[in-house]
Structures are given as C-alpha cells and as structure tokens.
A and B are shown apart, each in its own frame.
Chain A
Amino acid sequence: GENVEQHPSTLSVQEGDSAVIKCTYSDSASNYFPWYKQELGKGPQLIIDIRSNVGEKKDQRIAVTLNKTAKHFSLHITETQPEDSAVYFCAARDGANSKLTFGKGITLSVRP
C-alpha cells in the first residue's frame, strides 16, 4: 500500500519568511495530492491540492509542487503570518482506490 512520509515534524519560521514542507510517497500509481491545514480544536481543512498531470499549482501565498520522478511534493507558503501557525498534513491517493493515505503532520509555528 501507499506510504506517505512528512519531515520534519515541526518547523518554526519568522513572520514574513517563507516556509517549505516536503512529503514523499511510495506508490507511483498515486495521482492526487492534497494538503490540509488543521487548527487547534478543528478538523483538517483543504488548502490546496494537485493532480499528477500538473507540476505546480498556486493560490495566492500558497503553492504546491510535484516531482513524480522523485515521488515527492512540497507545500510552499510565502510571506508567512501568525495565522499560518497550524498542523499541516499531506496525503496521496491513487486513481483506483478511494482512500487517502496521510502523512503524520507537521506543526508550523510562525514567530511574530
């Protein structure tokens, strides 16, 4: 089955700096890669996703890049703000399977 790894487990950045969170996956058949943000006491919320026919996708300060050859994808947050502080999860799903496999999550702290 699919295995998604997310490193590091914590990341601290200064407000205004960029943050990059990287995930690797094992199943070359995976073709859908979402990123979720989870704030304290809330459920995960989708912030951006990418499909395997696209190498990069941007939405304002957030972007995701996908390298299918190396089997990794990354979340990029520019001009970080304190409200970006949260736990971020990456996930992967293959087209023949309706199940998402999640990474263990990374806690991002943005220092004011």
Chain B
Amino acid sequence: NAGVTQTPKFQVLKTGQSMTLQCAQDMNHNSMYWYRQDPGMGLRLIYYSASEGTTDKGEVPDGYNVSRLKKQNFLLGLESAAPSQTSVYFCASREGGNQPQHFGDGTRLSIL
C-alpha cells in the first residue's frame, strides 16, 4: 500500500535551473497539496488542488507552478530555482470532507 509517493527524494540544483517535483497517490483522493518545511517555520502551503484539473494558491506560491492533469498526480514546478527555495517539500492528499491529509516522505531540495 504505497499511499503518497514523492520523487525524487533528494535533488541539488544550481541557481536558475528548472525542475519538477512529482507526487503520486494511489488512494483515489480528490484533494492534493504541496507544502514546504523550513526550520522553525512549520509546514507552509504552496499550492493545493481540490479536484482534478483545479489548482489554487496557498500561503507561499511565488516562484512555483503546479499541474493536476490526472487525479493521482500533482506536480510542483520551479521555473528558475533560487537559493531561497532550498527546503524540504512535502506532498499530501485527502479524500475530502473532514478526512485527514496523508503525507509523502518529502523531497529534500538544495539550490546552490
């Protein structure tokens, strides 16, 4: 039972490079989320998707874009990476209503 799978687990980029973080869930959940976790800052929402084909900005969306073309996948893009985007990124999914969010194990991203 895989749950929420994030790839890659680790990545090092140079400033200005682009990349896409991938998230897949096998629980047929409607909603998906991207968070970043920085020391002392807790979990901050970047973008979320309430259903396939829809996306909305969260608390810290600047410098990121997202795509939810398939229900099971939620992609987070960095068009031009900056050192301030060095962080641990977590994806989560939720069935809907007042059901809990389920998290992946994160992508550790360093931007030099």
Contacts and interface: CB of A to CB of B under 8 A. Distances in A.
Interface in B74-112: 90, 92, 94, 96, 98, 100-106
B43 A49 contact: no
A99 B48 contact: yes
Contacts of B104: 43
Interface string A30-42: 0110101000011
Size bin of chain A's contact surface: 20 to 34
Nearest to A41: B105
B42 A99 contact: no
B101 A46 contact: yes
A69 interface: no
B48 A46 contact: no
Contacts, number: 50
Nearest to A46: B100
B61 interface: no
6 contacts: A43-B106, A45-B103, A89-B42, A99-B48, A102-B43, A104-B41
Interface of B: 4, 31, 33, 40-45, 48, 50, 58, 90, 92, 94, 96, 98, 100-106
Interface of A: 6, 9, 31-32, 34, 36, 41-46, 49, 51, 89, 93, 95, 98-100, 102-105
Given A46-B101, A49-B100, A99-B45, 18 more contacts: A31-B98, A32-B98, A41-B105, A42-B105, A43-B92, A43-B106, A44-B90, A46-B100, A93-B98, A98-B31, A98-B48, A98-B94, A99-B33, A99-B58, A102-B44, A104-B40, A104-B42, A105-B42
